[in-house]
């Protein structure tokens, strides 16, 4: 009795079967049917944890960004357009947040002299003069307004305003 198995016919049939199976899976994927019906068809919107909440983090992680790209000042108030921390989502609307205590402020003293000051710690209202090691800190309320304006006759600052500047935080 003669053998029924023919190796070349088997290999050609196997190859054609794989090609047909790949085409069927490809059609199912393209049309979002069968097992692919739950796959997303578009890039999802970014969620809260997929954004940099600190402008310094955003500037440190994306070398192409500048403070002017993500920060702006409107009516003496600084705003930050949050930057996505990942590239596997689309930024959603409404990601502009107000920064109550900017990193840099210009304070005007009673003589009219304007000097630049920087926060000691992110998010605090305590500022030290830039370039002066032994400066006495200034405590500011929201939007760089000195805490003692109008209430303390010994206060040497009459006003303050945010500066469109932020130091990048390099990723660790």
Structure pTM? 0.72
> Which uninterrupted H or E stretch holds 70?
helix 67-70
Q: Which two tokens stand for residue 103?
A: 């990193």
SS3 content of the chain, % helix, strand, coil (to 5): 25, 25, 50
Residues in a beta bridge with 106: 116, 161
Position 72 scores a pLDDT of 96
For 165, which DSSP code?
Answer: -
Q: 12 falls in which pLDDT band (50, 70, 90)?
A: very high
pLDDT one-digit tens code per residue, 157-169: 888 999 999 999 8
Answer yes or no: is pLDDT of 119 > 70.
yes
Q: Where are the domains of the chain?
A: 9-36, 48-162
The position carrying tokens 């920064």 is 99
Close Cβ partners of 135 (under 8 Å, ≥ 6 residues apart)? 128, 129
């Amino acid at each position: 009795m003669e053998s029924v198995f023919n190796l070349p016919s088997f290999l050609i049939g196997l190859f054609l079967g794989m090609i047909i199976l790949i085409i069927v899976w490809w059609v199912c994927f393209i049309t979002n049917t069968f097992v692919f019906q739950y796959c997303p068809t578009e890039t999802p919107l970014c969620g809260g944890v997929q954004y940099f909440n600190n402008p310094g983090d955003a500037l440190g992680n994306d070398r192409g960004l500048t403070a002017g790209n993500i920060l702006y000042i409107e009516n003496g108030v600084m705003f930050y357009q949050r930057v996505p921390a990942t590239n596997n989502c689309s930024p959603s609307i409404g990601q502009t947040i107000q920064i109550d205590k900017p990193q840099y402020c210009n304070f005007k003293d009673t003589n009219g002299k304007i000097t630049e000051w920087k926060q000691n710690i992110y998010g605090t209202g305590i500022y030290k003069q830039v370039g002066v090691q032994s400066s006495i800190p200034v405590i500011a309320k929201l939007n760089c307004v000195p805490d003692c304006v109008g209430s303390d006759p010994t206060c040497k600052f009459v006003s303050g305003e945010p500066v469109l500047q932020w130091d990048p935080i390099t990723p660790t």
